[in-house]
Amino acid sequence: MDTRPIGIFDSGVGGLTVAKEIYARFPHLSTVYVGDTARVPYGNRSQDAIIAFSSQIIDFLLTQSVKAIIIACSTSSALALAALKQKYDLPIYGVLEPAAISACIQTKNKKVGVIGTRATIQSQQFSQIINSVDSNISIATKACPLFVPLIEEGMTEGEIPISIAHYYLDSFKKEHIDTLIMGCTHYPILQPIISSVLGRNIELINPGIALCESLTKDPLFSTNAVNQQSSHKWFVTDNPDQFSLVARTFMNSASAINTQKITLF
């Protein structure tokens, strides 16, 4: 039985939407989470920067004896996954492919929308994966670079996020999409607003949920060891107390979350 933890990383708190699903679906698994809060957000950075930052995080996770890595950051999954898989000799999972495949299964009218950071949308990774599965699916994309700062500020309800959501999402109405990929792990935190702006007949794909569904048959995530005691650790590159506070609220945790600060550079 391989009891080593799974490494999970993101630029900041967004990856907690993925971690939350992992904790719920695979309660026997131990995990080590890294949030690169000293350099968040990744969404407007270059591919070189994102590969360099992600490598520094993986080098740290390897010191924690992880058996696999989940990139719980859509931008890093889009721009760095291929390079990281070549560089490292352990299983690395991104969040793009599961979300894209889930959208292909979900759409009935073969019209899919994708929202994400500027870097993710410019990479066209979602479109390439979707059309490699089904070339008849048409795809409308939109970069929504203000969503991450809104979420990091905790402005997830009220007039301002609603008007920003209209600004970014109204153009999807004339595309007649029936499925939208929330292509940044921060975005599920805005799901109520996204849903109210687009209307409830559009299916929203949450990358964390899609990833967990794709992992249910993976031996590394095996549920055989259901009695095994799991443990979770959280590390950030800046402001551990603020992260602990956000994480506890976000995960409705009854107990305090102990986050440690690490220096990667």
Size of the site for its own copies (CB under 8 A): 23
Pick the closer one to its own copies by CB: 91 or 149: 149
- By beta-carbon proximity to its own copies, the closer residue of 213 and 238 is 238
Among 134, 178, 213, 238, binds its own copies (CB under 8 A): 238
CB of 16 to its own copies, least distance (A): 17
Stretch that binds its own copies, among 108-116, 127-135, 220-228, 237-245 (CB under 8 A): 237-245
Q: Which stretch binds its own copies (CB under 8 A): 41-49, 80-88, 169-177, 220-228?
A: 41-49
User: Is residue 249 a contact point for its own copies (CB under 8 A)?
Assistant: no
149: contact with its own copies by CB under 8 A? yes
The one-letter amino acid at 145: P
Decide whether 96 or 164 has the Cβ nearer to its own copies. Answer: 164
142 binding its own copies? (CB under 8 A): no
184 is catalytic: yes
Per CB under 8 A, 49 contacts its own copies = yes
Distances (CA, A) of 151 to 39, 203, 231: 16, 21, 27
> Which residues belong to the active site?
73, 184
Q: Which residues bind its own copies (CB under 8 A)?
A: 38-39, 44-46, 48-49, 145-146, 149-150, 152-153, 155, 159-160, 163-164, 167, 237-239, 265
